[in-house]
């Protein structure tokens, strides 16, 4: 697969930090970034487009906390029918133009019984339950063919953010994220199985992007917004609308946490 060309103004901007904004979290680009430019995905030849509500479908680039950043205001998911190579193409593109640190955010269901909707969880590790790997079949010459995954989510950066959260009285959880394909939510039996595997939260994204970023030797930091209790734990039926409503309720706290993470990177 060819990595598409980007407008010269974005290449010349030389972003250093990339952010992927998950379901209901796209507001961050508009609220916190001093925007220099926007690039809709459909303006990039051969690039995927977002098909999920709450994903605007564009790159937003500018400055944040003195850092040059590029945001994905809307990501791609395996359940949209894209190949793994398609949905991780933005990571390879960001690496190509100079991004060295990637913040991956998502909306997730809480499996850990200590989690409640509105909590934030910093990813300490992940479980790939997608049934595939984004590195299968990749023919490019960038990155490591057999990357080590001992520490996907950067330990030093996590420690700095953990200290910031403690100093600012932010109740930041830390745990293991498990990725499924979706788009159906999980069954109660699946959630019990995932808990037995050691998962604290479950979602439908993040893991492919993180794997590719580490292959390219990028630092990775993951943050989940726990938008609902998972099936069998929740007392109500799950819906995408509830996910968006919870994300909207905690947007100031989420924005403060993510902005602090960028400053500390």
| Contacts for 159 with CB less than 8 Å, ≥ 6 apart | none
More confident residue, 117 or 3: 117
How far apart are alpha carbons 120 and 253 in whole angstroms? 9
Lowest mean pLDDT among 60-74, 138-152, 239-253: 239-253
Is residue 5 a part of any domain in this protein? no
Q: Is pLDDT of 228 > 90?
A: no
- Range name among 6-10, 110-114, 117-121, 189-193 with the lowest pLDDT average: 6-10
CATH number of the domain to which 70 belongs: 3.40.50.1580
**Domain-located, residue 141:** no
Give the active site residue among 56, 72, 107, 165.
107
Q: What local confidence, expressed as pLDDT, does residue 78 receive?
A: 94
For residue 53, what pLDDT band results from cuts at 50, 70 and 90? low
pLDDT at 74: 85
Mean pLDDT computed over every residue of the chain? 91
Q: Exactly one of 1, 65, 79, 259 is catalytic; which is it?
A: 79
Query: Is 23 in the active site?
Result: yes
Does residue 143 belong to any structural domain of this protein?
A: no
From the list 204, 247, 260, 265, the catalytic residue is 204
Q: Is 77 a known active-site residue?
A: yes
- pLDDT value at residue 55: 59
In a domain, 1, yes or no: no
Indicate if 240 belongs to the active site.
Answer: yes
214, part of any domain: yes
- Residues above pLDDT 90, as percent of the chain: 73
Model pLDDT, residue 164: 97
**Annotation marks residue 205 as catalytic:** yes
Residue tagged active-site, from 85, 228, 231, 247: 228
For residue 13, what is the enclosing H or E element? helix 8-13
Active site residue 80: yes
Return the C-alpha torsion angle 259, 230, 90, 157, nearest 10.
40
CA-CA distance, 42 to 34, in Å (whole number)?
Answer: 23
* pLDDT tens-digit readout, 236-245: 776 767 767 8
Number of domains in the chain: 1
Is 4 part of a structural domain of the chain? Answer: no
pLDDT cut 70: percent of the chain above it: 96
Mean pLDDT for 115-137 is: 96
Contact by Cβ (8 Å): 216, 142: yes
State the pLDDT at residue 25: 79
Q: Is 79 a catalytic residue?
A: yes
Task: Evaluate whether residue 205 is within a structural domain.
Answer: yes
Most confident range, picked from 45-49, 52-56, 76-80, 164-168:
164-168
Which pTM was predicted? 0.94
Residue 2 lies in a domain: no
| Residue 4, pLDDT score | 80
The whole domain housing 118 covers 12-136+148-264
User: What is the band of 1 on the pLDDT scale with cuts at 50, 70, 90?
Assistant: low
What's residue 197's pLDDT?
A: 98
């Amino acid at each position: 697969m060819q990595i598409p060309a980007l407008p010269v103004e974005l290449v010349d901007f030389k972003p250093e930090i990339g952010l992927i904004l998950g379901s209901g979290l796209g507001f961050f680009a508009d609220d916190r970034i001093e925007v220099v430019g926007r690039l809709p995905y459909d303006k990039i030849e051969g690039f995927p487009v977002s098909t999920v509500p709450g994903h605007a479908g564009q790159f937003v680039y500018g400055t944040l906390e003195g850092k040059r950043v590029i945001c994905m205001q809307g990501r791609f998911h395996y359940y949209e029918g894209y190949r793994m190579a398609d949905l991780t193409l933005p990571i390879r593109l960001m690496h190509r133009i100079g991004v060295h640190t990637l913040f991956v955010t998502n909306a997730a269901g809480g499996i850990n019984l200590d989690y409640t909707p509105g909590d934030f969880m910093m990813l300490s590790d992940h479980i790939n339950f997608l049934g595939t790997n984004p590195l299968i079949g990749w023919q490019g010459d960038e990155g490591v063919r057999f990357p080590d995954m001992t520490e996907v989510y950067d330990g030093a950066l996590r420690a700095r953010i953990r200290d910031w959260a403690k100093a600012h009285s932010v109740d930041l959880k830390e745990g293991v994220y498990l990725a499924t394909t979706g788009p159906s939510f999980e069954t109660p039996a699946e959630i019990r199985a995932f808990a037995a595997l050691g998962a604290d939260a479950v979602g439908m994204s993040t893991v492919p992007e993180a794997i590719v970023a580490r292959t390219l030797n990028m630092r990775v930091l993951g943050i989940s917004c726990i938008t609902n209790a998972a099936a069998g734990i929740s007392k109500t039926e799950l819906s995408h609308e509830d996910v968006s409503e919870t994300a909207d309720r905690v947007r100031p706290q989420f924005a403060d946490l993510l902005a602090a993470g960028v400053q500390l990177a």
